[in-house]
Chains A and B, each alone.
Chain A
């Protein structure tokens, strides 16, 4: 018997708006002028926020922070494809997506300043707090999708992950289960080429990350992650598939982490300035500006106004965050369980007595 091919696979790549601002109008998602402006304005807000967060960290006013510079299109355009009733699971590099979803900028800063209260997701915003352990949010996101399916709620779940996450067991376990149970979930991989210092080709010998979906029995697609239209279009399509009961999708958004891994990292130790410069030429905002200018949706005055408004909004958030009083020492204990167990109550009481005696000012650690 001769060997024969029993399965043959293709991996698609979608690009609609190239780095020169040239757009394939046939593929362009049907967004109104106002929606295109909104994409632009969110991306500017995210970039201004990111710059400010970086500066605050350098000034000692913020803890470790993970920059999103260069990845604005991937996370803004995908988050804008969500309905408010959908759920979103960020990894730890999606403040842009979180602000689109409604998380106040103040709270994003609050979290990175070292205050858990930045993770009290506002009521009505169906998002999980960020997940620092890589890929662990994937099975949980699939679990929420299962919950929605169980209850008959017509929603989808968008789970963000990075290229490094595709090497973790939870990526495999989560995507595998999502495929088996045909769950309404979209896995959105921001492939930014670097997991701290380890390049994408060290994460997997596979040519694309998108093709990993094939092994789990559902579609995977690669998109130009710096192209807002490709990201929006692919995410919108995948979310609609999910809500229609057609199961999961994996999207690989090819982008680039222009900044360091976090403010605690120095990327010049492991990658060339030429590589970074090459990717700066593919900037997602620059190409959208070029496109919008040809459509008369952008001029210098509008650009300046948007940036000025973003700065104002970010400054107000910084001010508000920095004037938020620190939490009480009791806050460490009180939410461990719904009801405080006797032993924890004893520990808390002993601790409050001790700091009360030491500081003479009760429980406040502010």
Chain B
């Protein structure tokens, strides 16, 4: 066992699954000799060669379209889109083909494809490098959408994503690519794609987050604990399909909830979570569910980015509001 960053954990998962399964290949921009702009694929071209680690032209639609063809032909492609802001060019392929081919052919063809997308803000990057566009993918039936929140989680979830028989959008919160290290076993393990994770038991309020926001939420919970408020924290892990049961069980227990996400507020995944709580646990609630989110604005450039991203203070205030309703 070794302490690893998320970048290293993902790299290890790729390396192990490419070793296990010769039908796994990876494709994307600058993923070969350069090792990816975040170095996630570092060393893989040396180990597996140019046949299985393939630098592509700057063509996001072709990267995903080619990967769909590879998947339909029985391979297990893992495509990298360099930044979430460039994933829009691939939406047509994902929405019109990857997500539908199983339904359209009633299972005659399937599309076991992973699209890895570094996403989100907080790294002082240029325009179009800081968005949280997970809701775009969640709204496409037939896609699974996964967001790891720690190095350990990233490895286990990615192994499941690669082995999944359906297309998986694997969104990597780039802000925590290297922000923390934790024990990540060398041995293989997988984490199911349909179960949220209860990070810490609590009794007063349920806090729901994913990706980088989990850590902001954990800090807020720590501050609240000092004030005697006990938070139960849920790391959603898989945004689609969404694990309602874990959320609802927790909300029924705590009777209060706050959802935290970076993405714009309206029709964000938080809106769906609030709706599900309303449908399945409304009568248990002691306060309206609060959302701490980005705004319905363009993600600002680095000088104003900190104001846009939910921070510990905003989460603390939201918890205060639900506790004092």
- Please give the residue numbers on chain A whose beta carbons come within 8 Å of chain B beta carbons, in ascending order: 116-117, 119-121, 123, 128-129, 131-133, 136, 138-148, 150-151, 169-170, 173-174, 176-177, 180-181, 331, 335-338, 341-344, 346
Contact = CB atoms under 8 A, between A and B. Distances in A.
For the complex of A and B, the 5 pairs showing the least CB-CB separation, nearest first, are A143-B69, A139-B65, A147-B73, A341-B241, A173-B62
Contacts of B97: 131, 136, 140
Nearest to B238: A341
10 contacts: A121-B109, A136-B97, A139-B66, A142-B66, A173-B57, A173-B61, A176-B57, A176-B59, A342-B243, A342-B244
B105 interface: yes
Nearest to A180: B57
Contact of A140 (B69, B89, B106, B194): B69
Nearest to B164: A338
Contact of B65 (A117, A120, A136, A180): A136
Contacts of B3: none
Interface string B241-272: 11111000000000000000000000000000
Contacts of A120: 105-106, 108
Contacts of B57: 173, 176-177, 180
Nearest to B64: A139
Contacts of A121: 105, 108-109
B62 A174 contact: yes
Given A139-B93, A173-B65, A146 B70 contact: yes
Contacts of B101: 129
B92 A136 contact: yes
B69 A116 contact: no
Interface in B161-198: 165-166, 194
B244 A142 contact: no
B105 A143 contact: no
B200 interface: no
Interface in B227-244: 241-244
A139 B110 CA distance: 17
Nearest to A130: B104
A177 B92 CA distance: 18
Contacts of A123: 108
Contacts of A344: 241
A132 B92 CA distance: 12
A142 B69 contact: yes
Nearest to B194: A341
B65 A174 contact: yes
A343 B106 contact: no
A128 B92 contact: no
A146 B62 CA distance: 12
A343 to B, nearest CB: 5
B60 to A, nearest CB: 8
A138 B59 CA distance: 13
Given A176-B57, A337-B144, 10 more contacts: A131-B96, A139-B69, A140-B66, A170-B62, A170-B65, A174-B65, A180-B57, A337-B165, A343-B242, A343-B244
B68 interface: yes
A195 B175 CA distance: 46
Contacts of A142: 62, 65-66, 69
A176 B62 contact: yes
Contacts of B194: 341-342
B166 A143 contact: no
Interface in B293-320: none
